[in-house]
Amino acid sequence: MSSTYGQILRLSIFGQSHGPAIGMTLDGIPAGLPVDLEALQSFLDRRAPGQGDYATPRKEADRPEFLSGLLGGHTCGAPLAAVIRNTNTRSKDYEALHDCPRPGHADFSAQMKYGGAQDVAGGGHFSGRLTAPLCIAGGLCKQFLAQQGIQIGAHLASVGQVRDICFDPLAPQLAQVGSFPALSPEAGAQMLAAIAEARAERDSLGGVIECAAVGLPAGLGEPMFGGMENRVAAILFGIPAVKAVEFGAGFHAAGLRGSENNDAFVMERHQVRTATNHAGGILGGITTGMPLLFRVAVKPTPSIAKQQQTVSLSQGIEVPLEIKGRHDPCIAPRAVPVVEAAAAIAIYDAFLEYNARK
Amino acid sequence: MSSTYGQILRLSIFGQSHGPAIGMTLDGIPAGLPVDLEALQSFLDRRAPGQGDYATPRKEADRPEFLSGLLGGHTCGAPLAAVIRNTNTRSKDYEALHDCPRPGHADFSAQMKYGGAQDVAGGGHFSGRLTAPLCIAGGLCKQFLAQQGIQIGAHLASVGQVRDICFDPLAPQLAQVGSFPALSPEAGAQMLAAIAEARAERDSLGGVIECAAVGLPAGLGEPMFGGMENRVAAILFGIPAVKAVEFGAGFHAAGLRGSENNDAFVMERHQVRTATNHAGGILGGITTGMPLLFRVAVKPTPSIAKQQQTVSLSQGIEVPLEIKGRHDPCIAPRAVPVVEAAAAIAIYDAFLEYNARK
Amino acid sequence: MSSTYGQILRLSIFGQSHGPAIGMTLDGIPAGLPVDLEALQSFLDRRAPGQGDYATPRKEADRPEFLSGLLGGHTCGAPLAAVIRNTNTRSKDYEALHDCPRPGHADFSAQMKYGGAQDVAGGGHFSGRLTAPLCIAGGLCKQFLAQQGIQIGAHLASVGQVRDICFDPLAPQLAQVGSFPALSPEAGAQMLAAIAEARAERDSLGGVIECAAVGLPAGLGEPMFGGMENRVAAILFGIPAVKAVEFGAGFHAAGLRGSENNDAFVMERHQVRTATNHAGGILGGITTGMPLLFRVAVKPTPSIAKQQQTVSLSQGIEVPLEIKGRHDPCIAPRAVPVVEAAAAIAIYDAFLEYNARK
Amino acid sequence: MSSTYGQILRLSIFGQSHGPAIGMTLDGIPAGLPVDLEALQSFLDRRAPGQGDYATPRKEADRPEFLSGLLGGHTCGAPLAAVIRNTNTRSKDYEALHDCPRPGHADFSAQMKYGGAQDVAGGGHFSGRLTAPLCIAGGLCKQFLAQQGIQIGAHLASVGQVRDICFDPLAPQLAQVGSFPALSPEAGAQMLAAIAEARAERDSLGGVIECAAVGLPAGLGEPMFGGMENRVAAILFGIPAVKAVEFGAGFHAAGLRGSENNDAFVMERHQVRTATNHAGGILGGITTGMPLLFRVAVKPTPSIAKQQQTVSLSQGIEVPLEIKGRHDPCIAPRAVPVVEAAAAIAIYDAFLEYNARK
């Protein structure tokens, strides 16, 4: 099974980039929760293509139609199901690629797995477009978490070689991200310039996204394989192009001493807190009540206009490749809400499991 | 649910560090596979404590007793079950900690989750000792994978500030790790010196472990949440102290351009290969047939002899803490086989799922 | 989680009877399998309403639109997703029922579970209409099993007090069921007469459905909770109105002696077979290669025109109830293909799991 | 995967009848719940062999050793794990059977599945002895449910042709079962006589067990495949020899009219109840608050001393078979607590899932 996630929730994502529609079912949500469809649309708009110079000009409204699970603006206990029609497909762009897998894409591994039965148009089920239904599910979970006082936000920590400031690990500035998801306007401007430059050179850039959740109770998550890190990572790697995840101090912690990395416990307004947050709000897989903090690496868009080398699978020879079509020179900005969505799903699932044993 | 992993396999790990025993059940292994118990013991010995200056002097044989699943040296189709008795427990070392959670440990988050019902002795179910049954399961899966021509190996990429060379990403040198898991003897010696220095200063060190699997067929893994990265990460974060995971070029890829990061396809002895392996052998979540490569960050041992600050939960005040007992100044060396074990379980599970749809 | 089934497959069913649409996603199907959409439609037509005197006159084409998972008439590896629009809804029929739960329906238990947030129109997510997407998934699995030489068929063993002959337990007559699913035309005529009589008396009838699968290899199923009986029963009770399941001799076996109930092994054309089939083709949860045989009890349609007694939840008093709207006086005939569908899903899932460890 | 059950809980059962030990792990139990080990032993004693004329004389204490999950008489949040040593094994009894599968046993289907690698001694993992760890898990869940005011009891509804009275469907007499699990002493005496007679004739008998749970809140269970019937049936068929399950009026309901089978809602001391309980306390898969009621058919013990016919797998010829060894002439009496245990696990799992969304 492939496109299914969750323990108390069960998310199932379906669709191919150039098929009739993409969508999701989300089973296991409690009944009676209010859903704000306008706020959901605003959230989806953050991911939608065609927003600026840094994104593909393919314009699709990404307006979900809910088929199930809502009644009078509330969840009704039936599985939530929503679809987004694919209206702007140009499959002919992809036909030549059937024999020649694009470097950095799933074309080759899918060909080996499915023996040619897979849908190659637009990347098929491997397309970044499948993050739209992930954002439907995650946007809903964000709302349900907010109803419990839990907020999630993310921003670009870097694009290519341009680095921005990071969240305050003790009190992340979730609300300060504008239309371009950089914390500081200066870094944002430099990131946009770097993306424009890469595009002009028919190339692409990667980036790092930092995400935080605040307001979590201490005690979410289960030991070993049910830990928050396991759950969050297991969904994050479902976002195409994510190649790395680190929690709290992450790889940096590996170079520290215990006396530096350990977060001392302190009393703050009669509450137990930690003086630092190298743990990213998670100890033993379980939330401490401090902000949950992680970063993901997004690789540079593999579809570039520059000539590359690939092989012809039918002829068994190396051939040059020039990719046509519409592609983001950097997908990291549009991936910011996707990372929030994935985190929200994992955290809400853990929240419900926490309730089960309270 | 906490300590359960797998899709076709179902691994369940149980036990507390100072309880009667620790162990595992592993359900779903095909019947009729030969098991080499001596080779398994050698693998477990790589993780066992008491091996050198860098490890805790607590000596326990870590000899599993198999209760189920084996007959005449082969798997018999019944779930595999094995236990290791805890013989060398010193619970009185831990009693004073009940009120004062140790920084960097699960003491506080477990207290919040379980309300004091949890077993605090030796870390209870959160102890690194629980990686012994993980190694039983993983050591078995390593053998089953080897029977399919798939090899897994890992080594220390760094300890504290000491870095070793890394695997050749196109042909990892799996067999070259000696009794101390460094690739180059010089780096190994420096790592041991750094660990000895940290111990002398009553402190601890973290490290980075690099792991590779070779011989994998192309096509393992499922799209989105069933991808190899999702599966491997979901089990790796079950190893205490792991705070980050990156595949292939990982975080480094985020700073590259697409033209740099994309792995060009080439023909090599009539086989499709990639000229580089920034993808770590995984595209779209699915193996390409190139070596599967990843690195994990292991944080410094949180138990240090140096004085730290914590709080008294009962009194609501800050108090100093000096941790007694036996602790590894750096757990990264002993975590090397644990990382191999975790990878083997995830990969063998994906291998069986791949068979299901072949 | 509610509406999700499967181990290697993952079926998710969504929709409410009077919502915008109903549908299903079916993840985990191998790629490259041919799909005959006309044959699927013929299968769905067997379940569709409006076919005869015994069924509700509500007419809806039940034509699924596939949104994902198909390409050029074959499965493509992406999750299969299909929806059926609800075009003929009459929600006003149901409004009066909100306060007064219908006896024998899920109205009351859903009210207790969801606190009023549930969709009551037409039974919401509890409606028998949700068996249409179950038949999409099951009709597909029937095709995939037929490609492996495995056939599934069912018929009415009884309607009310009218009993038909049963399948030959050693060689079920799967192909002999006509447009009304009775094995003998005489019993079929009596069943139709009994249904017409119940309808005239503003009442309803139940029935028993017998189902068989032939061509199964020996060895499908897993011990204990992964057995074929567990898997088949776990999906069958997802069909509204099913209240009992028995395999082989079932309840009758409880009154036999071991010497009567045991199926003697015999050699038949160099194959091991059993002389009788009281086991229903399953021993220890695992198929023997003999026909897999089971029966399910379908309770009488709870919606009857006759006056009944219920309570007003708001007033806390007993009140009489007359149910309006369109209802089958006996749903057992239309449930026959649904039982086949459910069996096909469970068996195909077990078949894929069997492959995983072959 | 085979021997694993549960959604919020995760039960894993391991062991072979004549291997070193049998046991279970039960993950997901809340921490801090008191456990009465003496009461658990009394419960296990109801299942243990060697209790009377109707049971096998093989005597084993069935005393579980808890390896994990308990601390100071309470659950501690770690997975519960317990083992029972096999002390009284006589494997030589079984060797001759390797080539000649016993009718009615899993010998043949296991041989086809595992190709001879399976453990045949005493039935291996298919032995009824594996119900001992099921009773450990279920006995614990019974205690946890009792702490919530939920009681579960079962009795023999019939043995062979001897029928006892049944539970009052509105108020089951759970406490009235004595050392032999019959409701009426007269029926109990007749059952014992029938069993003695079958034993004297080297034959065996089946039986029907009726089980009830009272004190359940309305609202447990999820729609479709997560319903209480699905969950309870999915675990019950994990008990060897169970071939049928019916809820409430079950198969009898198929012969009733809707006006007879529907349970009218009534007000009783300001509570909504039903006047009858043909639904067995479940509507739409969800509890109504009325007693949950079901019956299971237990087939006659397949191991009989009487001569039977089987085949020699190696020679491909039919051969006579006389089974030696110790076997219950009727396992239904000892299966009564096993049915309670299975029901308790399924219900407690549903109870925890219900909490998750409350």
Q: Name the DSSP letter for residue C34.
A: B
The pLDDT value given to residue A324: 81
Q: CA-CA distances (angstroms) from residue C294 to A47, B36, C229?
A: 50, 43, 9
Q: Using an 8 Å CB-CB cutoff, list chain C residues near D257.
A: 160, 198, 203-205, 300
Closest Cα in chain A, distance from residue D78 (Å)? 8
- CA-nearest residue to A65 within chain C is C20
Partners of residue A349 in chain D, C-beta under 8 Å? none
pLDDT digits (tens, 9 = 90+) for C115-169: 999 999 989 999 999 999 999 999 999 999 999 999 999 999 999 999 999 999 9
How many CB pairs below 8 Å do chains B and C form together?
Answer: 35
Task: Write the residue in A203, A243, A272 that is nearest to B257 by C-beta.
Answer: A203
Neighbours of B286 (CB within 10 A): 28
Q: How far is residue B345's CA from residue B234's CA, in Å, rounded to a whole number?
A: 11
What is the number of CB-based contacts under 8 A between chain A and chain B?
A: 379
C30 token code pair: 């191998």
Q: To which CATH superfamily is domain C92-356 assigned? A: Chorismate synthase AroC (3.60.150.10)
Query: pLDDT per residue over C16-30, tens digit each?
Result: 999 999 999 999 999
Strands C308-312 and C317-321, by their bridges, are antiparallel
Among D135, D259, D303, D338, the residue to mutate for chain C (most C Cβ within 10 A) = D259
pTM score, two decimals?
Answer: 0.97
Q: Which residue of chain D comes nearest to A222, CA vs CA?
A: D28
How far away is chain A from the Cα of B170, in angstroms, using its nearest Cα? Answer: 16
Name the neighbours of B, counting chains with at least 3 Cβ pairs within 8 A: A, C, D
Most confident of B246-255, C86-95, D314-323: B246-255
Distance from chain centroid for Cα C298? 10
Flag if B119 and D12 touch (Cβ within 8 Å).
no
Taking CA–CA distances from C116, the nearest residue in chain A reads A32
For residues D135 and D44, is the Cβ–Cβ distance under 8 A? yes
From chain A, the residues in CB contact with C17 under 8 A are none
How far apart (Å, rounded) are the C-alpha atoms in residues C231 and C212? 15
Tens of pLDDT, residue by residue over C336-357, are: 999 999 999 999 999 999 999 9
| Segment D16-29, tens digit of pLDDT | 999 999 999 999 99
- Calculate how close chain C gets to A266, using CA atoms only, in Å: 40
Q: Answer whether D104's CB lies under 8 Å from C262's CB.
A: yes
**Residue C358 to residue B355, Cβ atoms within 8 A:** yes
Taking an 8 Å cut-off on Cβ atoms, the answer to whether D104 and C266 are in contact is no
Which chain D residue has its CA at the smallest distance from A349's CA? D356
State the Cα–Cα distance between residues A285 and A282, nearest whole angstrom: 6
Cβ within 8 Å, pair C355-B357:
yes
D: neighbours with 3+ CB pairs under 8 Å? A, B, C
Mean pLDDT of the residues in chain D: 93
ipTM value: 0.96
Give pLDDT, residue B325: 73
Tell me the residue type at C296: V
The count of CB pairs under 8 A between chains C and D is: 378
Rounded to 5°, the CA angle D44-D49-D50 comes to: 125
pLDDT of residue A57: 52
Inter-chain CB proximity B77 and D23 less than 8 Å: no
Nearest CA in chain C to B28: C357
In this model, does residue C92 exceed pLDDT 70? no
Dihedral pair phi/psi, residue A299, rounded to 5°: -75, 160
Taking alpha carbons only, the member of C299, C282, C298 closest to residue C290 is C282
Beta bridge partners of C295: C210, C246
Helices marked H in chain C: 37-47, 107-114, 131-146, 185-200, 228-236, 250-253, 258-261, 332-356
**Does pLDDT of A60 surpass 80?**
no
**pLDDT 10s digits, A266-320:** 999 999 999 999 999 999 999 999 999 999 999 999 999 999 999 999 999 999 9
Give the residue ranges of DSSP H helices in chain D.
37-47, 92-95, 107-114, 131-146, 185-200, 228-236, 250-253, 258-261, 332-356
pLDDT tens string B111-165: 999 999 999 998 999 999 999 999 999 999 999 999 999 999 999 999 999 999 9
Contact call for A234 and B238, based on CB within 8 A: no
- pLDDT of the residue at D61: 72
CB contact under 8 A, D8 and A357: yes
Q: Which of C274-288, D79-93, D159-173 has the lowest mean pLDDT?
A: D79-93
pLDDT at residue number D48: 85
- pLDDT 10s digits, C239-266: 999 999 999 999 999 999 999 999 999 9
Per-residue confidence (pLDDT) for residue D284, from 0 to 100? 97
Q: What is the pLDDT of residue D186?
A: 96
Given an 8 Å threshold on Cβ–Cβ distance, is D15 in contact with B67? yes
Contact A280, A249 (CB under 8 A): yes
Contact C199, C167 (CB under 8 A): no
- What angle, 0 to 180 degrees and rounded to 10, lies between the N-to-C axes of helices C37-47 and C131-146? 140
pLDDT band at A94 (very low <50, low <70, confident <90, very high): confident
Q: Which residues of A touch D8 (CB under 8 A)?
A: 8, 353, 356-357
Q: Following DSSP, what letter does each residue of B18-62 receive, concatenated?
A: TSSEEEEEEE-PPTT-B--HHHHHHHHHHH-SSSSTTS-S-----
Nearest to B243 among A208, A250, A313 (CB): A250
| Chain C residues within 8 A of B223 when measuring between CB atoms | 77-78
CA–CA min distance A288, chain B (Å): 5
